């Protein structure tokens, strides 16, 4: 029996760094079991170039990544969503559209690496740290026994993953 991949949407304000990283990482780690998307409430219209550099260094595809408004995923023709994760505090506090599919939601906030001031090395380090944290959280997510967890247990696990500390802690 072929089940469809579980659709996961990552939300951020600008949809240029954190949510893009999460989309790329989950599409890789999910190995076809998950289909990841990303969007923003106020998209910048471009993906952060340091994000693209890091993803390319990691061998992850970047061709389909682009900054877009979250309304794209609230349309009737949008994919039915199984999970929606906010990865920034601003997006978590905003009023979101009604998502098709009645997805489970969780907040997995982390600092905005695109907002880091400094030289190239500081910016690349911030992107790398965000990548590492998201990779760790998403590794935990894909390892969950989803078919064996009731909704309340799954929600608890999703919330716990969002509290997972940064790699440098």
**49 CB neighbour count, 10 Å cutoff:** 11
The parent domain of residue 97 ranges over 6-162
Sheet bearing 34-40, strands edge to edge: 34-40, 6-12, 83-86, 104-107
145 catalytic? Reply is no
Count of structural domains within the chain: 1
Q: ∠17-6-164 over CA atoms, to 5°?
A: 50
Q: Does a structural domain hold residue 24?
A: yes
127 catalytic? Reply is no
Q: Which residues of the chain have pLDDT under 70?
A: 1-2, 90-95, 166-169
Q: Does a structural domain hold residue 167?
A: no
Catalytic residue (one of 96, 111, 129, 140): 96
Q: Does a structural domain hold residue 169?
A: no
pLDDT digits (tens, 9 = 90+) for 76-98: 899 999 999 999 876 555 667 77
Catalytic residue (one of 26, 47, 87, 88): 88
Q: Does a structural domain hold residue 168?
A: no
Instruction: Pinpoint the alpha helices (H) of the chain.
Output: 18-29, 49-57, 89-93, 120-142, 151-162
For residue 23, which of 80, 64, 74 has the smallest C-alpha distance? Answer: 64
Q: Does a structural domain hold residue 130?
A: yes
- For residue 15, give the CATH number of its domain: 3.40.50.2300
Q: What is the pTM of this model?
A: 0.93
46 catalytic? Reply is no
Q: Does a structural domain hold residue 73?
A: yes
Catalytic residue (one of 12, 22, 24, 54): 12
Q: Does a structural domain hold residue 71?
A: yes
**pLDDT at residue 90, rounded to an integer:** 64
């Amino acid at each position: 029996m072929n089940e469809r991949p579980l659709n996961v949407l990552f939300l951020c304000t600008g949809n240029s760094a954190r949510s893009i990283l999460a989309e790329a990482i989950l599409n890789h780690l999910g190995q076809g079991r998950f289909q990841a998307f990303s969007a923003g409430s106020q998209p910048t219209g471009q993906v952060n170039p340091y994000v693209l550099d890091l993803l390319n260094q990691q061998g992850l595809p970047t061709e389909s990544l682009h900054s877009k408004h979250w309304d794209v995923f609230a349309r009737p023709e949008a994919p039915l969503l199984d999970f929606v994760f906010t990865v920034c505090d601003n997006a978590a506090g905003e009023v979101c559209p009604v998502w098709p599919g009645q997805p489970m939601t969780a907040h997995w906030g982390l600092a905005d690496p695109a907002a880091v001031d400094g030289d190239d090395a500081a910016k690349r380090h911030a992107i790398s740290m965000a990548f590492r944290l998201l990779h760790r959280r998403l590794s935990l997510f894909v390892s969950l026994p989803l078919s064996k967890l009731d909704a309340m247990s799954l929600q608890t696990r999703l919330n716990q993953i969002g509290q997972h500390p940064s790699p440098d802690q």
